[in-house]
Chains A and B, each alone.
Chain A
Amino acid sequence: MSSRDSILATLRANRPDPAAHELPPVAVLGDMDAGKARFEDALQLLGGQILLPQEGDTLATAIARRFPDAKIICSAVPDFEGTIRLEDVASPQQAAATDVLVVRSPFGISEMGSIFLSEAQLNSLNSAAHLTQHIVVILSEKNLTANMHTAYVERPEFHTARYGVLMTGPSATADIQGVLIRGAQGVRSLSVWWE
């Protein structure tokens, strides 16, 4: 008997009576507000930012003002120039040289302030979501979903993406009684630009 078969056999023998443990219906709980304000509050709670346009701003001028020292601004979207295109980054390692990555997210979750990215948005260069110094995410209000439950039920991306990541603010780490450190293992800042 293969180990797989023996594990399954033990599981069948030992499992609690299935009749007494029926699979509950899919839970869709909680606040159903899929609004922009809720999203912004949640994002800022985890250290994320909103890139607010000033009078006459374009995304390019807003980025230049927010990141005045940025040398390599990498674009993963057709409607923004940048200094380099993500398709032209030759290897996953090279993504580390990027100061600012501009990418479009297919949806956000209001409850969590999270944005979703997959290989479809990252041109299969998934390391870019981690190694870039700063990330600017273009998001549309109409692509907000209310909460974690509605996200998994409604969004087709979870069934198609090989690699899908929900990003919420900059990377952060803090152990028990430790200090909160932002940007240690991933992006140092995450800003959302509404379109």
Chain B
Amino acid sequence: MPNLHIATLGIERIVPRMADMGVFIRLLSRSALGSPITQYTTHFRGPQKGGEMHIVLVDNGRSARLGMEEFWTSLKCIRCGACMNTCPVYRRSGGLSYGAVYSGPIGAIIDPTFNERKYSTLPFASTMNGSCTNVCPVKINIHEQLYKWRRVLAEHHELPFVKREIMHMAGKLMGQPTLYRTAINGTEVALSSLPRFVLYNWLNPWGKHRELPHPVKQTFHSWYKKNRLKDKKESKGGKA
């Protein structure tokens, strides 16, 4: 056993009193594993006899984050991992795909505070289902912060050109149902008839390693219009 113990930790790890530890020990393992406590819960108050112990408190942007009104509560994270375990994106993509030390939903709102450009896409990798916020034991509004980060990143022009333009178009499209439906029909036709080089090129980084989804024969909307809408009209007509 070496006689030197160096512990590095973020400044946000500090709790005010020894007695407050009970709250956090209780929350941690329950939210992480569903067990009451971890098997070894260790308390280091000082070095072993004849040894040395050093504690290095790391800031690395945390004190600056404390001043970000919409994002400072992310400092409350106790790293239990509950938000990751529940996240549909994380569960399919895994931690490495985030390309940062902090992965999962909490990573997606912390990482941009370290480097807005490098992690500009992370807040967009969310379906906004809010499951992370629901399970978070320290009640960080993760999905709301994901949404707020999107706005901040767009304002800071940290979105890649293609994504920005597509978002503009998507915004217009989705605001107008008729236009949207025509476009969807067009997409289905395009997906099934256009040659590969038109669909897979630099404008479509998503298609670099993946195939685009198979075109469907009929969208839900057109199916609904044909079947259900007709039934409804008929039954209404019957009553009258």
Q: List chain A positions with a Cβ less than 8 A from chain B.
A: 3, 7, 10-11, 13-16, 23, 26-27, 42, 45-46, 92-93, 111-114, 119, 124, 126-127, 130, 147-149, 151-153, 158-159, 161-172, 174, 176, 186
* A-B CB contact pairs (8 Å), 8 listed: A11-B63, A11-B66, A45-B36, A124-B48, A162-B48, A166-B37, A168-B36, A169-B39
Q: List chain B positions with a Cβ less than 8 A from chain A.
A: 1, 11, 16-23, 25-26, 33, 35-49, 57, 59, 63-64, 66-67, 72, 85
Q: A26-B19, A174-B33, A176-B85 are in contact. Are A162 and B26 (CB under 8 A)?
A: no
Contact yes or no, B40 A15, CB < 8 A: no
Q: A7-B11, A14-B67, A148-B26 are in contact. Are A161 and B39 (CB under 8 A)?
A: no
CB distance from B58 to the nearest CB of A (A): 9
CB distance from B207 to the nearest CB of A (A): 29
Contact yes or no, B22 A119, CB < 8 A: no
State the CA gap A172–B40 with chains docked (Å). Answer: 9
CB distance from A49 to the nearest CB of B (A): 14
State the CA gap A80–B64 with chains docked (Å). Answer: 57
- B17 contacts across to A, CB distance below 8 A: 26
Contact yes or no, A147 B22, CB < 8 A: yes
CB distance from B145 to the nearest CB of A (A): 16
Contact yes or no, B40 A163, CB < 8 A: no
State the CA gap A66–B66 with chains docked (Å). Answer: 55
Contact yes or no, A111 B36, CB < 8 A: yes
Q: A7-B63, A11-B66, A152-B19 are in contact. Are A164 and B40 (CB under 8 A)?
A: no
Checking A11, A46, A165 against B43 with a beta-carbon cut-off of 8 angstroms, the contacting residue is A165
- B26 contacts across to A, CB distance below 8 A: 148
- A165 contacts across to B, CB distance below 8 A: 40-43
Contact yes or no, A15 B66, CB < 8 A: yes
- A170 contacts across to B, CB distance below 8 A: 39
Q: A16-B72, A164-B42, A166-B41 are in contact. Are A149 and B1 (CB under 8 A)?
A: no
Contact yes or no, A162 B42, CB < 8 A: no
Checking B20, B44, B63, B64 against A163 with a beta-carbon cut-off of 8 angstroms, the contacting residue is B44
